Structure 1
């Protein structure tokens, strides 16, 4: 029995993820932000005042990874962590003015990247791809 990467679904998904990440990394490098850092910025923008646990759940990351990324973003003056009024053990994350400015500058880059990626497929293929990936996700959860 042979094992071919070209016919292996997990490998093809991993390879596509790797290439997609590499592509967006190249487009964001001039802004001194990684794709992971941008994902955190985006989530903080969308979920203003969320905590680290929420970030980890949304982004499918462990707590240590989220803490590491937040430390980097905080050192770059892109986010701030403030203690919650409800729970002194909880920190709520917000964008700084500089973080919001960077987010607004990079959002068109990310949207254009998504548009370019989606353009690989026609409308029906894209709908089918989304359907199949969602089906895979639902059956793996």
Structure 2
């Protein structure tokens, strides 16, 4: 009798790795009153410039329903501003305010210092290999993988 290989739960392992790594950054973000989602938005807007909400959702890996609430809180905190696009009044553009820029300037060096501490502890090679393997996985044709055929639903 042949044994079927049972794969490890890759999505669960990736989530665990994410949580372990993020635990090293949460203290910095909390110190400045930011959530992880808010920091992703601040960092993305600082690095990519003003974006439409759907672009921001894609870049930050935040679902649209969640993004609405996060952006509202960030606007209340004066970290971002929403403006109508000059070329198309139906479109909204999100950008950092001067206060949002300032928070980036305070937090980014601490985040980079924490990355260096992680690299110094676990090794630059492991970090470089991890980036390379994740890039390789993300560039694989995962969108072309067929779905397993499902059996009929039993009543």
Q: Tell me the TM-score normalised to structure 1 length.
A: 0.84
Q: Deviations over 1:23-42 (max 9, x none)?
A: 31122111101121011011
* Residues 1:37 and 2:38 are matched in the alignment: yes
Pairing 1:106-121 to 2, within 5 Å after superposition: 106-121=107-122
Cα RMSD between the aligned structures?
2.2
> CA-to-partner distance for each residue in 1:57-84, whole Å, 9 max, x for gaps?
2112222222221111101111110111
Conservation of the 8 A alpha-carbon contact between 1:28 and 1:109: no
TM-aligned CA deviation for residue 11 of structure 1: 2.6
CA distance in 1, matches of 2:99, 2:55: 23
1:133 Cα deviation after fit:
1.7
Determine which structure has more spread, i.e. the larger CA radius of gyration: 2
Give the whole-Å Cα distance in 1 for the aligned partners of 2:17 and 2:64: 26
Whole-angstrom CA distance in 1 between matches of 2:71 and 2:81: 9
1: distance between equivalents of 2:72 and 2:126?
A: 40
Large movers: runs of 4+ above 4 Å: none
Q: Which residue of 2 aligns with 1:72?
A: 73
Q: Which runs of 5+ in 2 are unaligned?
A: 144-155
Q: 1 or 2, which has the higher helix percentage?
A: 1
Q: How many residues align?
A: 138
